């Protein structure tokens, strides 16, 4: 369940911080992607260089770093993760979390996040048993914070009792359990979804093809978000370098015709999202052999034929039409107007119109969600954030209409 999960690890200032390098190593062995925030107190026990070397990512420390804020920013840092793990979580860190104190990068990120938070408390037994800490613990639990540990045993201070941070293996198990439980109890649990992603490649000859610059990042992110919400997801994807999303059935295709056939084979589904950038045309008669170029030769004339319209086919199906069909409209101008027209023409329920004037392949998207209620313009977001916001809108629609 940790494959391709993005984990933001906050390392605060307790002796248990020395476990952070092993925790990062084990998380990456399970396929997770780890970013770290290291507090000033945490730096007394572990170095930024060691965490960076093991995570393969920059370690963030200073809230007021102009370089870090322009590169990532505490808002994006806290919201691009699938979960925030605070390990160790000292008594001081728990108190700050309880009372909404944001006086450094770690606490500011925690206050700014909209993602799940898990903490692994670690402190002296007397500090753990203190009434203030226990009250803070109850408050954090009421807010939905996941608590792992602490365990009982020999403490670094020489005393024995509760307060020992959970072992790395226990944290891995807790994270796996969290994602498995969320998937099984998500708002889209019991619903089947189809997502198309990536470009299609239409052959000219055995070595050349017609395609576009779609990376597949947005479609793959949508498939992952729907799976996280509990849906049974099938991703039909053209050629892309994106890793397969965790917990998603993947069907790899190359051409538009293959993509259509794969989509029809998946039906019936409750939700269909056509995020793939399907080539509008194909070569009517692709050559069986490589077309040769000779000096002074005239370039071959390519006779094009129109590809099948996958979105229209799903939207206008007489039988087994998905209850919710969502298309994408990649536009370079008049994005909202063209997206609205496409929704009417294709017969789909929603259109996500995205401005691609800056080109395909980036990590952000600026979209308008167009429904029968009109258009809702979203701010520029990471493609992962767009996917999560879309999945949330779908879950609300399903609850109200299915």
What pLDDT is stored for residue 2 in this prediction? 85
CA distances from 185 to 16, 148, 159, 174, 189 (A): 33, 20, 41, 16, 6
CA distances from 90 to 99, 136, 258 (A): 14, 12, 55
Domains 6-184 and 192-401 share a fold: yes
Average pLDDT over residues 172-178: 92
First-residue to last-residue Cα distance in the chain: 28
High-pLDDT (> 90) share of the chain, %: 67
In the chain, where are the structural domains located?
6-184, 192-401
Judged against a pLDDT cut of 70, whether residue 341 lies above it is answered with yes
Can you give the chain as a three-state secondary structure string? CCCCCEEEEEECCCHHHHHHHHHHHHHHHCCCEEEEEECCCHHHCCCHHHHHHHHCCCEECCCCCHHHHHHCCHHHHHHCCCEEEEEEECHHHHHHHHHCCCCCHHHHHHHHCCCCEEEEECCCHHHHHCHHHHHHHHHHHHCCCEECCCEEEECCCCCEEEEECCCHHHHHHHHHHHHHHHHHCCCCCCCEEEEEECECCEECCCCCEECCCCCCHHHHHHHHHHHHCCCEEEEEECCCCCCCCCCCEEEECCCHHHHHHHHHHHCCCCEEEECCECCCEEECCCCCCCCCCCCCCCCCCCCEEECCCHHHHHHCCCCCCCCEEEEEEEECCCHHHHHHHHHHHHCCCEEEEEECCCCCCCCEECEEEEECCEEEECCCEEHHHHHHHHHHHHHHHHHHHC
What pLDDT is stored for residue 155 in this prediction? 61
What pLDDT is stored for residue 154 in this prediction? 67
Answer whether 341's CB lies under 8 Å from 316's CB. Answer: no
From CA 138, how far away is CA 143, in angstroms rounded?
9
What pLDDT is stored for residue 397 in this prediction? 95
What pLDDT is stored for residue 348 in this prediction? 96
From CA 187, how far away is CA 146, in angstroms rounded?
19
Judged against a pLDDT cut of 80, whether residue 21 lies above it is answered with yes
Answer yes or no: pTM beyond 0.85.
Answer: no
Domain covering 6-184: architecture? 3-Layer(aba) Sandwich (3.40)
What pLDDT is stored for residue 79 in this prediction? 79
**Residue 314: pLDDT band with limits 50, 70, 90:** very high
What pLDDT is stored for residue 297 in this prediction? 74
From CA 308, how far away is CA 305, in angstroms rounded?
10
Q: List pLDDT tens digits, range 57-84.
A: 999 998 877 666 666 666 778 878 889 9
What pLDDT is stored for residue 181 in this prediction? 82
Q: What topology does CATH give the domain 192-401?
A: Rossmann fold (3.40.50)
Average pLDDT over residues 266-283: 95
Q: List pLDDT tens digits, range 181-213.
A: 877 778 999 999 999 999 999 999 999 998 988
Residue numbers annotated as active site: 157
361: left (phi over 0), alpha (psi -120 to 50) or beta: left
Asked if omega into 57 is within 30° of 0 (cis), the reply is: no
In what order do the strands lie in the sheet containing 83-89?
A: 59-60, 33-38, 6-11, 83-89, 117-121, 146-147
Average pLDDT over residues 203-228: 92
């Amino acid at each position: 369940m940790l494959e391709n999960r993005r984990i933001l690890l906050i390392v605060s200032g307790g002796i248990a911080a020395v476990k952070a390098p092993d925790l990062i190593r084990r998380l990456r062995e399970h396929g997770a992607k780890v970013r770290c925030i290291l507090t000033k107190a945490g730096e007394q026990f572990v170095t930024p260089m060691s965490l960076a070397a093991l995570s393969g990512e920059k370690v963030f420390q200073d809230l007021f770093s102009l370089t870090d804020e322009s590169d990532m920013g505490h808002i994006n840092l806290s919201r691009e993760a699938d979960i925030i793990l605070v390990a160790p979580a000292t008594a001081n860190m728990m108190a700050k979390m309880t009372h909404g104190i944001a006086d450094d990068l770690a606490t500011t990120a925690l206050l700014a996040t909209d993602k799940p938070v898990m903490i692994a408390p670690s402190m002296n037994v007397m500090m753990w048993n203190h009434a203030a800490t226990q009250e803070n613990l109850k408050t954090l639990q009421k807010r939905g914070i996941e608590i792992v540990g602490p365990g009982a045993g020999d403490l670094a201070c020489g005393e024995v009792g509760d307060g020992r941070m959970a072992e790395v293996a226990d944290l891995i198990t807790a994270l796996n359990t969290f994602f498995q439980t969320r998937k099984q109890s998500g708002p889209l649990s019991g619903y089947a979804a189809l997502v198309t992603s990536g470009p299609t490649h239409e052959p000219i000859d055995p070595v050349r093809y017609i395609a576009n610059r779609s990376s597949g990042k947005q479609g793959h992110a949508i498939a992952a978000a729907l799976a996280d919400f509990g849906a049974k997801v099938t991703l039909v994807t053209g050629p892309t370098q994106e890793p397969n999303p965790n917990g998603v059935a993947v069907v790899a295709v190359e051409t538009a015709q293959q993509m259509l056939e794969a989509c029809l084979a998946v039906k019936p589904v409750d939700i269909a999202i056509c995020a793939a950038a399907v080539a509008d045309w194909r070569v009517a008669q692709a050559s069986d052999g490589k077309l040769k170029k000779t000096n002074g030769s005239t370039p071959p004339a390519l006779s094009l034929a129109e590809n099948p319209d996958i979105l229209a086919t799903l939207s206008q199906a007489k039988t087994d039409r998905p209850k919710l069909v969502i298309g994408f409209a990649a536009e370079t101008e008049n994005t909202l107007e063209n997206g609205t027209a496409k929704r009417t023409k294709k017969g789909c329920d929603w259109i996500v119109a995205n401005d691609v004037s800056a080109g395909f392949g980036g990590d952000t998207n600026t979209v308008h969600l167009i429904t029968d209620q009109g258009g809702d313009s979203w701010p520029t977001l990471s493609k992962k954030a767009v996917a999560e916001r879309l999945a949330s809108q779908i879950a609300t629609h399903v609850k109200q209409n299915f």
